Structure 1
Amino acid sequence: MEFALDQALKSYSGGLGFLAGSHMKSVYALRQNLIGIGMLWKYGYYDQGRRRDNSMEPQFHEKIYHFLTDTGINFQIPILGKQVWVRAYYLAPEVFSTAPMFFLTTDVDGNDEQTRAVSYSLYDSDVTMKVAQCMVLGIGGAKLLDELKYQPDIYHFNEAHAISAAFYLYQKYKKLPELKKRMVFTTHTPEEAGNEKHDINFLENLGFFSGLKMDVVRKITGIKDNIFNHSLAALRLSKKANGVSKLHGEVSRQMWKSYPGICEITHITNAQNNTYWVDETLEKARIKKDSKAISARKKELKSILFKTVADQCGKIFDPNVLTIVWARRFAAYKRPDILTWDVARFEKLLKNKDLPIQIIWAGKPYPKDEGAINTFNHLFYLSHYFDNMAVLTGYELALSKLLKDGSDVWLNTPVVTREASGTSGMTAAMNASINLSTYDGWICEFAKDGENSFIVPVAEGDDINKTDCDNFFDLIENKVLPTYYKNQKEWDRITLNSMNDVNEPFNSDRMAREYYEKLY
């Protein structure tokens, strides 16, 4: 549903898109035989603006891309009882150094306003529209390949969004074993409740099953009641599936093991594209083990980031002061505001003149998630009380890069087991920012506390939120700040270890190879 390929192409919301974008860039670098199919969102995800009182406002502006080529391919698929026109646009590999990419849209002549709107906004809040979007991606994606007369060996479904394609393909191949040997599936969701479910009759009425009779749909998916679980169907129709970190693979196998007929679930740990994300000067210094050069470059990069802070917030930050950044999708389980839960301790931390600190927040909530938007606004209003606290809008690829480059510490605060992988800390570590994190997702495969990162112990007891909050403050006050200001040699050692340890295992070239070897 989303690919973050370049700042200029607004076809993503967050981490899932960053990941897919890195994958497509590594495909290009490794010259793998693979193409990507996504959606051309007329309004992107949304533009993160502010109202007159500076509260966050989702804005929807039309996006026009002259670097996409109209393939001239137009075809129809049945959705909502209508024949809906779909057009395909092509992104050539040389534009952004990616795999060949196709993007589908319903915003074409011949469609009425309702069906044109299917490809307007990524993750539409209306359930019917969201399913229609998945049908354009799934059925439309499979039909596009037929229109191109291109026959892939493998269809890789990244999340279950495109599972409707399986029923289109079943009509083509007629037999379940023929379908299964061509389908693989990546799950990103570590909670059973987070996997999309709909009433099977609702889906049939939309045209989700491409005209397959309901007894056939039930037979091949093993779904006996009226609840169609998209991920479960994908696990039963694929030859193999994967979670996106070692821990997530284990969680997924545990989560689905009671369901009969599912395929094997392995794991391929998420990664990010070094070539795109890494600052060249920092990388040269890493290779030479030149900590002085790393430290000098970090101050330059901080100064560049702080121009954005001054522009958006009217605050002058100091490149010599330890800077912590929390930046990713705003969601409740990620606990963006955890440090503000202890008001007295937070105020004491930000007003400490002996060991000064600067903290920056950024990230996009889902535009209809009032709770997450309120958290974002609360942090912004709180920032008025502190010259050394900033909350930035417009968290997309370009700002993300500035924040990774300009942070000393990357703060990662999810409730343990809730983060399937998380990837923002990878690109921060590539750019000499040390991870300060709970022990979850990819961090479990990377982190060595005190060696390449600062890790809070896994919280136990009745109030894990309070425990985690206290532990984060303890680490910042007693370890992070004293090391940064009083033991430069130790800080340099941890930074260099972090850069070296993230470099190869969490480069998406490794991930792209593993998809070929372990999944395809």
Structure 2
Amino acid sequence: MQSLELKEDLHTPRVAYFSMEIALDSQLPTYSGGLGVLAGDMMRSAADLALPVVGVTLVSRAGYFRQEITEGGRQVEHPSPWNPAQHAHALPAKVAVSIDGRDVWIMAWLYRLQGEGDGRIPVLLLDADLPENSEEDRRITHFLYGGDPEYRLKQEIVLGIGGVRMLRALGFTVSRYHLNEGHAALLCLELLRSGAHGSTAPVRAQCAFTTHTPVEAGHDKFPYELLRRLLGPDADTELLRRLGGEQHFNMTQFALNLSGYVNGVAKSHAEVSRRMFPGFRVHAISNGVHPRTWTSPAFRQLYDRHFPDWKLEPEALMRIGLVDAESIWAAHEQARHALFALVRERCGVSLQEGALTLCFARRMTGYKRPDLLFTDLARLRSIARRYPLQLVIAGKAHPRDTDGKRLIEMVHACLGDLREDIRGAFIPDYTMEIAGLMTAGADVWLNTPLPPLEASGTSGMKAAFNGVPSLSVLDGWWMEGCIEGVTGWAIGTENEVAAPQEHARLLYEKLGDVVLPLFFHDRAGWVEVMKGTIGHNAVLFNSHRTMRRYAAEAYLRS
């Protein structure tokens, strides 16, 4: 069934990019964090580069959640509903998938991402909230990552099986299927059943798979009893066990076995993935961020004046050394003022113009270690008494991550204890918009994951487009992006297994003995580091480069 809204999209075969979450706009809660924001950046770059891609995701009508922080630092979750009819067009096709013996009907909303030129990417948002379905089934596409394993598996049936059927019903010709993480792995089952007639070779020829998770516990696994009940006749148990694992159905293993191209999201992550899944060839395509989206207005204007093609060719920024230091610093000060205004508005805290602003923002969970900076409050106070220092922090904990919620409370308690020596603020309800203001307005971007648990990380890449250097543990992308003293600074050394207290000591040493003295005593030297950050990391870690590599290595392969 061809739709007038899709007429221009059906002329050429497209790569179908499947992701449980895609960040389309800061105000639309179709994302929870890094995976969704990355997927949105990939789609925005595809639009800029006029690549033939179609995005497929869930509508997530009830969103992820809106975060409230109580006076004691406790996270409270509130619904974050949105109306897709106000932002997207309903498409005429409906398809059904069998779930637990019932036909569950699915429609799709069309959202378009406009590129820098004429390129536009269609994104399909799958929606089960239809009168044909029961009340229970209508809620399948409501909550992003909500509910129990049964609810999650129902969502992944809709995404994978329903997504393939929707593309066919709308008249798309798909040249490749790109699975962004294992949530979409059941699309391979649909391809096996409907087109390949049980043969794995044709499916492998059509599928590329990107894994993002470097820890075994992070991969979706389901008991076969649940899989058989929900899939019904589609559950060929012998086939599923052979391709998905003997003990339980592992979505990642299923995707690995049925994808002809597999990649991790950083060089170090690809190495970790090869060890986790021996026998599979895992390539490395490091993540990147979308240039226009993550560059502050002041730096956009600066780049537009000096490098008119930078939005499509970020490599032009390697000539940043030609720009005078005063212009770089003036653009940074504008970004700082925008962040300071946000902090005043949202937190009631007035930050100091003369202090170094250290920012930390990401999902609040144990391995991200938001508490590392606060390991020794006396040491941190001592540093701040020598050099004015202030902290801006943000991030959500998953509603079921009790340890992550405790970390948020602990951070608030520490900010309170430090109040006399260090001004600090925790910005609630972290969104793309807040991320943009923080990564541009920071003086230094802090990242302290527990190696090797950071697959990639992209917040420091966003900071790089604004000349903000990173101070980070060597893990994920920073193992490729860190040139000591040029693009920022490392906490510890590569391949080091350090106790938290040791990483904290190294963090305090680098901050107090290297970073702060340079900021306060050598402004020219500091601006050179800003230029190094732009000229090396913005040039390399952008989603245009990532999508071009996917196109050349994953999409166009024979």
Band of TM-score, shorter chain: over 0.9
Q: Kindly state the Cα deviation for residue 95 of structure 1 after the two structures are TM-superposed.
A: 9.2
Q: Kindly state the Cα deviation for residue 265 of structure 1 after the two structures are TM-superposed.
A: 1.5
**Alignment counterpart, residue 192 of structure 1, candidates 203, 216, 228:** 216
Partner of 1:179: 203
Instruction: Please give the root-mean-square deviation of Cα atoms over the aligned residues, in Å.
Output: 2.0
Q: Kindly state the Cα deviation for residue 349 of structure 1 after the two structures are TM-superposed.
A: 3.3
Partner of 2:49: 30
Q: Is 1:72 paired with 2:106?
A: no
Partner of 2:401: 369
* Residues 403-428 of structure 1 deviation map (CA, whole Å, 9 limit, x = unaligned): 01110000000012111100000010
Q: Which one-letter code corresponds to 1:452 in the other structure?
A: T
Partner of 2:335: 301
**Aligned pairs (5 A) from 1:193-208:** 193-207=217-231
Q: Kindly state the Cα deviation for residue 210 of structure 1 after the two structures are TM-superposed.
A: 6.0
**Alignment counterpart, residue 356 of structure 1, candidates 374, 385, 388:** 388
Paired residue secondary structure (1:36):
strand
**Aligned pairs (5 A) from 1:327-476:** 327-350=361-384, 352=385, 354-385=386-417, 386=419, 388-458=423-493, 464-476=499-511
CA–CA distance in 2 between the matches of 1:197 and 1:486?
53
Partner of 1:227: 248
TM-score (norm 1): 0.94
Q: Kindly state the Cα deviation for residue 343 of structure 1 after the two structures are TM-superposed.
A: 2.4
CA–CA distance in 1 between the matches of 2:440 and 2:241?
51
Q: In the superposition, relative to structure 1, how do residues 457 and 170 fare at CA in structure 2: closer, same or farther (>3 Å)?
A: same
Q: Which one-letter code corresponds to 1:342 in the other structure?
A: D
Partner of 2:9: none
Q: Which one-letter code corresponds to 2:173 in the other structure?
A: Q
CA–CA distance in 1 between the matches of 2:233 and 2:465?
45
CA–CA distance in 1 between the matches of 2:233 and 2:509?
57
**Alignment counterpart, residue 172 of structure 2, candidates 131, 144, 150:** 150
**Alignment counterpart, residue 162 of structure 2, candidates 137, 140, 154:** 140
CA–CA distance in 2 between the matches of 1:75 and 1:348?
63
Q: Does the CA-based 8 Å contact 2:50-2:115 persist in structure 1?
A: no
Partner of 2:288: 271
Q: Does the CA-based 8 Å contact 1:50-1:56 persist in structure 2?
A: yes
Moved more, 237-246 or 307-316: 307-316
CA–CA distance in 1 between the matches of 2:517 and 2:502?
22
Partner of 1:123: 145
CA–CA distance in 1 between the matches of 2:120 and 2:62?
22
Paired residue secondary structure (1:431):
coil
**Aligned pairs (5 A) from 1:486-501:** 486-501=521-536
Q: In the superposition, relative to structure 1, how do residues 93 and 326 fare at CA in structure 2: closer, same or farther (>3 Å)?
A: closer
CA–CA distance in 1 between the matches of 2:24 and 2:286?
20
CA–CA distance in 1 between the matches of 2:387 and 2:43?
43
* Residues 88-123 of structure 1 deviation map (CA, whole Å, 9 limit, x = unaligned): 100123399752100011122122222112111111
CA–CA distance in 2 between the matches of 1:405 and 1:222?
43
Q: Does the CA-based 8 Å contact 2:444-2:471 persist in structure 1?
A: yes
Partner of 2:271: 250
Q: Is 1:320 paired with 2:354?
A: yes
Q: In the superposition, relative to structure 1, how do residues 36 and 321 fare at CA in structure 2: closer, same or farther (>3 Å)?
A: same
Q: In the superposition, relative to structure 1, how do residues 280 and 460 fare at CA in structure 2: closer, same or farther (>3 Å)?
A: closer
Q: Does the CA-based 8 Å contact 2:290-2:542 persist in structure 1?
A: yes
CA–CA distance in 1 between the matches of 2:69 and 2:323?
43
Moved more, 361-370 or 59-68: 59-68
Q: In the superposition, relative to structure 1, how do residues 422 and 493 fare at CA in structure 2: closer, same or farther (>3 Å)?
A: same
Q: Kindly state the Cα deviation for residue 362 of structure 1 after the two structures are TM-superposed.
A: 0.4
Q: Kindly state the Cα deviation for residue 53 of structure 1 after the two structures are TM-superposed.
A: 5.1
Partner of 2:122: 100
Q: Kindly state the Cα deviation for residue 383 of structure 1 after the two structures are TM-superposed.
A: 2.2
Q: In the superposition, relative to structure 1, how do residues 75 and 498 fare at CA in structure 2: closer, same or farther (>3 Å)?
A: same
Q: Kindly state the Cα deviation for residue 228 of structure 1 after the two structures are TM-superposed.
A: 1.4
Q: Does the CA-based 8 Å contact 2:48-2:114 persist in structure 1?
A: no
Paired residue secondary structure (1:361):
strand
Moved more, 358-367 or 189-198: 189-198
Q: Does the CA-based 8 Å contact 2:113-2:122 persist in structure 1?
A: yes
Any unmatched runs of 5+ in structure 1? none
Q: Does the CA-based 8 Å contact 2:106-2:126 persist in structure 1?
A: yes
Q: In the superposition, relative to structure 1, how do residues 495 and 22 fare at CA in structure 2: closer, same or farther (>3 Å)?
A: same
CA–CA distance in 2 between the matches of 1:113 and 1:408?
50
* Residues 275-308 of structure 1 deviation map (CA, whole Å, 9 limit, x = unaligned): 2111253252674422211212222221211122
Q: Does the CA-based 8 Å contact 2:50-2:120 persist in structure 1?
A: no
* Residues 179-237 of structure 1 deviation map (CA, whole Å, 9 limit, x = unaligned): 11111111001123322222122211111x76143223334x173x2321111111111
TM-score (norm 2): 0.88
CA–CA distance in 2 between the matches of 1:422 and 1:496?
21
Q: Is 1:113 paired with 2:140?
A: no
CA–CA distance in 1 between the matches of 2:495 and 2:96?
54
Partner of 1:217: 240
Paired residue secondary structure (1:329):
coil
Q: In the superposition, relative to structure 1, how do residues 213 and 301 fare at CA in structure 2: closer, same or farther (>3 Å)?
A: closer
Q: Percent identity?
A: 30
Q: In the superposition, relative to structure 1, how do residues 313 and 413 fare at CA in structure 2: closer, same or farther (>3 Å)?
A: same
CA–CA distance in 1 between the matches of 2:24 and 2:80?
19
Q: In the superposition, relative to structure 1, how do residues 170 and 459 fare at CA in structure 2: closer, same or farther (>3 Å)?
A: closer
Q: Kindly state the Cα deviation for residue 384 of structure 1 after the two structures are TM-superposed.
A: 2.9
CA–CA distance in 1 between the matches of 2:178 and 2:449?
28
Q: Does the CA-based 8 Å contact 1:26-1:98 persist in structure 2?
A: no
Paired residue secondary structure (2:485):
coil
Q: Kindly state the Cα deviation for residue 75 of structure 1 after the two structures are TM-superposed.
A: 1.9
CA–CA distance in 1 between the matches of 2:160 and 2:527?
48
CA–CA distance in 1 between the matches of 2:432 and 2:461?
14
CA–CA distance in 1 between the matches of 2:395 and 2:472?
17
Q: Kindly state the Cα deviation for residue 459 of structure 1 after the two structures are TM-superposed.
A: 8.1
**Aligned pairs (5 A) from 1:235-246:** 235-246=256-267
Paired residue secondary structure (2:328):
helix
Aligned residue pair count:
511
Partner of 1:310: 344
Q: Does the CA-based 8 Å contact 2:44-2:115 persist in structure 1?
A: no
